Amino acid sequence: MNTLVNKHDDARAILRANDRGGYTVPTHGLYPYQWNWDSAFVALGFAEFDMARAWDEIETLMRGQWDNGMVPHILFHQPDDGYFPGSDVWQGTGPIPSSGITQPPVGMSFAVRLWRKDPSVGTDKLRAIWPMLAKWAAWFLDWRSHEGAIFVTHPWESGRDNAACWDEALKQIDPVGVGEYTRRDTSHVDASMRPTKFDYARYIWLVQRGAAANWDDATLAAEPAFRVLDPTMTFTLLRGMRDLAASGDELGFDTTDLKEHIARVETGAERLRNPDTGFFDSQDLATGTWGGGLTNASFLCWFAGLAVPDMLPRLQEVLTHCKYGVPSLDPQDPRYDAKRYWRGPTWGMMNMMIGEGLAEQGHTDLANTVREMTRDLIIRHGFAEYFDAQTGAGAGGDAFSWTAAVWLIWAGQTNGGEG
């Protein structure tokens, strides 16, 4: 019991230490700005002890929304030489210096979750940003939809930066003209835990291409350089729109368009089934090539509200090889790398979404297994950015905000409530 209480104190201390006043950095040094889906998890973490601060996080994020509805994946609230590429490279066109791409829209769901946790505080706040969240959803359907499934235009947009899913599409890019640049991530974290130089050159080439087009959606769509269907984006958007529609009905908003979007994305989600493997997978729209990897994103199907019992034995099989939660790539995949970012490690926030989705679909025992694995992981190995799914060794940044938040929201909870 004391261990759980101490971990709660540690988690709250991490969120306070990473708080920059209205927004929270993922961790000191490595990520010095506000990241989109990180902030959504952080808001839920703050809600466990400071609801007003939780809403500040979401409201600050939404103040960065572009006129077209897109909410950027990074908001550069103040200069910091310790990160590359910065706002001068991205040249975002929104009201706050920002990147030119988005991230998985978990903020849609989590804003509604804040409201449901305490309507006395959240009703007016959700009313104020609900139309903004609905506009973000509509942007996805306008500019990131293919037959209802959602694609990404940059690996960073998916949140799973160097996942094996993107390998074949990145090979089609010749990063000519990128020029010299200095990475900052490998000065904070061992290079063996980060994307390779091959990948990074292509990431920067895509950023430069977008900036040259002034991030105009129509211009970039006319000659797409990278378009890959993504389970993470599809499933989190579907969940977000479901939550927005339900809350909108209760608050008196017109949800007609939103419900039409939901129907389209529900149909599109089935489009993500790899016909050779049967699991949810990514697909390069330029070549039709499937990613071929069973990833933690494959198991977000339940979080999206889909009843897919055939995915249960696949998850159970993966977990027999991993002691500490759902790996970002099946350890039996030849591309598996236990410590390299999204090519093997387990992530607390992905475990949380998978576990909560399982519970909502009635798969209680498996949901508890994933949660207990994650709880044990954090108790034993702390609040790292991500972890070796087999040994538990921490990797990436330390004192990480969304890992602390996941502890407070979910992993540190017992069946009887807070530990």
Which CATH number covers residue 397? 1.50.10.10
> What average pLDDT does this structure show over 214-229?
97
Please give the C-alpha separations between residue 362 and each of 30, 109, 358, 406, in angstroms, as whole numbers: 38, 20, 6, 21
**In the annotation, is 260 catalytic?**
no
Q: Which of the following is catalytic: 38, 243, 356, 385? A: 385
Q: Is residue 56 part of a domain?
A: yes
Give the model's pLDDT for residue 193.
Answer: 65
- Provide the pLDDT confidence category of residue 2 given band limits of 50, 70 and 90: confident
Residues 282 and 280: their CA atoms lie apart, in Å, by: 7
Q: Is residue 30 part of a domain?
A: yes
> What average pLDDT does this structure show over 259-271?
98
For residue 413, give the nearest of 367, 350, 357 by alpha carbon: 367
Phi, psi (deg, nearest 5) at residue 167: -55, -50
Give the model's pLDDT for residue 372.
Answer: 98
pTM of the entire structure? 0.96
Tell me the average pLDDT of the chain: 95
- Provide the pLDDT confidence category of residue 40 given band limits of 50, 70 and 90: very high
Give the domain range for residue 233.
2-414
Spatial contact of 61 and 129, defined as CB atoms under 8 Å apart: no
Tokens of 33: 């700005």
Q: In 10 A of CB 318, how many CB atoms?
A: 22
> What average pLDDT does this structure show over 121-135?
98
Spatial contact of 272 and 234, defined as CB atoms under 8 Å apart: yes
> What average pLDDT does this structure show over 206-219?
98
Q: Is the pLDDT of residue 85 over 90?
A: yes
Give the model's pLDDT for residue 186.
Answer: 63
> What average pLDDT does this structure show over 392-397?
96
CA angle 312, 396, 359 (to 5 degrees): 25
Structural domains in the chain (count): 1
Q: Is the pLDDT of residue 143 over 60?
A: yes
Spatial contact of 228 and 209, defined as CB atoms under 8 Å apart: no
Please give the C-alpha separations between residue 209 and each of 100, 206, 223, in angstroms, as whole numbers: 11, 5, 11
Q: Is residue 419 part of a domain?
A: no
- Provide the pLDDT confidence category of residue 183 given band limits of 50, 70 and 90: low
Where do the H-state alpha helices sit in 48-118? 51-62, 87-90, 106-117
Q: Is the pLDDT of residue 33 over 90?
A: yes
> What average pLDDT does this structure show over 277-289?
98
**In the annotation, is 157 catalytic?**
no
Spatial contact of 296 and 357, defined as CB atoms under 8 Å apart: no
Q: Which of the following is catalytic: 161, 281, 284, 356? A: 161
Beta bridge partners of 31: 27
Q: Is residue 161 part of a domain?
A: yes
